[in-house]
Amino acid sequence: MQLKDKVALVVGASQGSGRAYVVALAREGAKVIAAARTLTNPSEPDSTSTLEGIAREAAREGLSVDTFACDVERDADVRDMVERTVANHGRIDVLVFAVGIYPRHDALTITAGEWDRVMDVNVRGAYYLVRSVAPHMIAQGSGSIVLLTSACASSTGGASGHQDLLMYGISKAAVNRLTTWFADEFRPHGIAVNAFSPGTTLTQTMRRLYPEKYEEYLKSGFGNIPTPEVLGPPIIYLAQQSATTLTGQILHRSTFGSGWGPSE
């Protein structure tokens, strides 16, 4: 197994792409700590789309997954999660930040509260995590950080379908800059920092929140939308990187197939 005995922290892990990253990393032998805002959904105690649900699923496969409730908008939560992970496991080898909110609004109707919420979760949350994990990776002289981004960081309107995602696009452009900045900052310490853009993926959240967008996408001729399981291989690849192999890159999974590669 490619990541045997590595310790991987996946934040935003309870469902969708984050859940797929947890399973993929654990299947490659990593000890995974899966984090999200809540452990369970009291109204659906048997739901698989919770941290408790993914822990049950992992246990059935004999995989090593721990869970941790953490709100990335709370600096104290982030710091506590990282310190407890290091205390329990001795190190953090991989960090995957898969948290993201993407409300759709007309570009001229965004309120101050809506703007701040997206930036707090998508950008400040990513920064908090990197800031908390980095000292431990620096001390051990190795690590791989993967931040989730999006193609709408550099595209807008038309066939891209991003015309009502101004806030989200700006937040992901900021994540891209965090990636390239910290890649240079941590290069002397052997730490890789890359971003991964998974593209449109058929998650439960997409179906629930934007059923009309999903139907429009299917009718547009773009083909079938992949499920989160296809996202495992690129995350495994990125998790294995160091500052001397691949760092400071923004990688995209192709919208039109299973291929993915560095942006140009």
Q: How far is CA 210 from the centre of its chain?
A: 20
Residue 253: beta bridge partners?
260
Q: Whole-angstrom Cα distance, residue 10 to residue 31?
A: 11
Q: Which of 168, 214, 217, 237 is catalytic?
A: 168
Q: How far is CA 46 from the centre of its chain?
A: 24
Count CA atoms closer than 13 A to 108's CA, side-chain side: 0
Is there a contact between 27 and 20 (Cβ–Cβ < 8 Å)? no
Known active-site residue 237: no
Nearest to 177 by CA among 135, 122, 113, 132: 122
Nearest to 13 by CA among 203, 150, 210: 203
Strand pairing category for 260-262 and 250-253: antiparallel
Show which residues are catalytic.
168
